[in-house]
Chain A
Amino acid sequence: MIQFALKRLGVAVLVALTVSILSFSMIYLSGDPAIALAGEGASEEDIENVRRVYGFERPIIVQYGDWLLRALQGNLGHSNYLKADVASVVFERLPTTMILGASALIFALVLSIPLGVLAAIRPNSMIDRFALTVAMIGQAMPSFWFALTLILWFGINWRLLPISGTASWQNFVMPSIALGYYVTPAVMRLTRAGMLEVLSSDYIRTARAKGLRPMTVLFKHALRNAIIPVVSLSAVQFGFMLGGSIVIETIFAINGLGFLVWESILRADLPMMQAIVLVLSIIYILLTFLADLLNGFLDPRIRVS
Chain B
Amino acid sequence: MSNKILEVQDLTIDIPTPSGTLHAVQKVSIHVDRGETLCIVGESGCGKSLTSLAIMDLLPKKAMRTATRLELAGESVFEIGERRMSDIRGNRMSMIFQEPMTSLNPAYTIGDQLTEALRRHRKVSRSEARDRAVFLLEKVGITAAASRLGQYPHQLSGGLRQRVMIAMALMCGPDLIIADEPTTALDVTIQAQILHLLAELQREFNMGLILITHDLGVVARIADRVAVMYAGQIVETGSAAQIFSAPAHPYTRGLLACIPIPGKTERGAHLGAIPGIVPSLVGKMSGCHFASRCPEVQQNCTSAPIPQFEALDPGRSVRCLQAENAAMRSAGQEGVA
| Chain A positions near chain B (C-beta within 8 angstroms) | 201-203, 205-214, 216, 221, 224-225, 298-301, 304
Q: In chain A, what residue has the closest Cβ to B118?
A: A210
A224 to B108, CA, bound (A): 10
A208 to B103, CA, bound (A): 11
- Kindly provide the distance from the CB of A247 to the nearest chain B CB, expressed in whole angstroms: 39
Chain A residues near B107 (CB-CB < 8 A): 221, 224-225, 298-300
A304 to B108, CA, bound (A): 12
Mark out the residues of chain B between 280 and 331 whose CB falls within 8 Å of any chain A CB in the assembled complex. none
Q: Evaluate contact between A209 and B95: CB separation under 8 angstroms.
A: yes
Chain A residues near B6 (CB-CB < 8 A): none
Residue of B116, B121, B152 near A301 (CB, 8 A) is B152
A207 to B94, CA, bound (A): 11
Chain A residues near B120 (CB-CB < 8 A): 210-213, 216
Q: In chain A, what residue has the closest Cβ to B101?
A: A202
Can you show 27 pairs from A to B with CB atoms below 8 A apart? A203-B102, A203-B106, A205-B58, A205-B97, A205-B103, A206-B97, A206-B105, A208-B58, A208-B86, A208-B89, A209-B58, A210-B90, A210-B94, A210-B168, A211-B87, A212-B86, A213-B86, A213-B120, A214-B86, A216-B116, A221-B108, A225-B105, A299-B106, A299-B107, A300-B109, A301-B154, A304-B151
In the complex, the 9 A-B pairs of residues with the closest C-beta atoms, listed nearest first: A210-B90, A211-B90, A211-B89, A202-B102, A203-B105, A300-B152, A210-B117, A211-B86, A202-B103
Chain A residues near B7 (CB-CB < 8 A): none
Residue of B86, B88, B91, B104 near A206 (CB, 8 A) is B104
Among A203, A214, A225, A299, max chain B CB count under 10 A is at A203
Q: In chain A, what residue has the closest Cβ to B154?
A: A301
Chain A residues near B168 (CB-CB < 8 A): 206, 210
B6-31 near A? 1/0 per residue, CB < 8 Å: 00000000000000000000000000
- Kindly provide the distance from the CB of B135 to the nearest chain A CB, expressed in whole angstroms: 18
**In the complex, B155 has a CB within 8 A of chain A:** yes
| Chain B positions near chain A (C-beta within 8 angstroms) | 56, 58, 86-91, 94-95, 97, 99, 102-109, 116-117, 120-121, 151-152, 154-155, 165, 168
A300 to B105, CA, bound (A): 11
A130 to B126, CA, bound (A): 42
Chain A residues near B56 (CB-CB < 8 A): 209
Q: Evaluate contact between B154 and A300: CB separation under 8 angstroms.
A: yes
Q: Evaluate contact between A211 and B88: CB separation under 8 angstroms.
A: yes
Chain A residues near B165 (CB-CB < 8 A): 206
Q: In chain B, what residue has the closest Cβ to A303?
A: B152
Chain B residues near A300 (CB-CB < 8 A): 106-107, 109, 152, 154
Chain B residues near A304 (CB-CB < 8 A): 151-152, 154-155
A215 to B138, CA, bound (A): 31
- Kindly provide the distance from the CB of A72 to the nearest chain B CB, expressed in whole angstroms: 39
- Kindly provide the distance from the CB of A106 to the nearest chain B CB, expressed in whole angstroms: 24
Chain B residues near A206 (CB-CB < 8 A): 97, 103-105, 165, 168
Given contacts A206-B97, A209-B89, A299-B107, 10 further A-B contacts (CB under 8 A): A201-B102, A206-B105, A211-B90, A211-B120, A211-B121, A212-B90, A221-B107, A301-B106, A301-B154, A304-B154
A185 to B120, CA, bound (A): 37
- Kindly provide the distance from the CB of B242 to the nearest chain A CB, expressed in whole angstroms: 32
- Given contacts A205-B58, A304-B155, A225 and B97 within 8 Å (CB-CB): no
A71 to B94, CA, bound (A): 64
Chain B residues near A224 (CB-CB < 8 A): 107
Q: In chain B, what residue has the closest Cβ to A206?
A: B103
Chain A residues near B58 (CB-CB < 8 A): 205, 208-209
Chain A residues near B99 (CB-CB < 8 A): 202
- Kindly provide the distance from the CB of B336 to the nearest chain A CB, expressed in whole angstroms: 55
- Kindly provide the distance from the CB of A293 to the nearest chain B CB, expressed in whole angstroms: 16
Q: In chain A, what residue has the closest Cβ to B85?
A: A211
Chain B residues near A212 (CB-CB < 8 A): 86, 90, 116, 120
A299 to B107, CA, bound (A): 6
Q: In chain B, what residue has the closest Cβ to A221?
A: B105
Chain A residues near B106 (CB-CB < 8 A): 203, 225, 299-301
Q: In chain A, what residue has the closest Cβ to B100?
A: A202
Chain A residues near B117 (CB-CB < 8 A): 210-211
Q: In chain B, what residue has the closest Cβ to A201?
A: B102
Q: In chain B, what residue has the closest Cβ to A213?
A: B86
Q: In chain B, what residue has the closest Cβ to A209?
A: B95
- Kindly provide the distance from the CB of B21 to the nearest chain A CB, expressed in whole angstroms: 20
A212 to B113, CA, bound (A): 11
A179 to B42, CA, bound (A): 59
A298 to B105, CA, bound (A): 13
Chain A residues near B109 (CB-CB < 8 A): 300
Chain B residues near A301 (CB-CB < 8 A): 106, 152, 154
Q: In chain A, what residue has the closest Cβ to B112?
A: A220
Chain A residues near B91 (CB-CB < 8 A): 211
A139 to B155, CA, bound (A): 42
A210 to B107, CA, bound (A): 17
A214 to B152, CA, bound (A): 23
Among B103, B104, B105, max chain A CB count under 10 A is at B105
Among A203, A209, A221, A300, max chain B CB count under 10 A is at A209
A49 to B108, CA, bound (A): 67
A94 to B109, CA, bound (A): 42
A76 to B323, CA, bound (A): 94
A71 to B121, CA, bound (A): 61
Chain B residues near A201 (CB-CB < 8 A): 102
Residue of A203, A211, A216, A299 near B104 (CB, 8 A) is A203
A209 to B177, CA, bound (A): 11
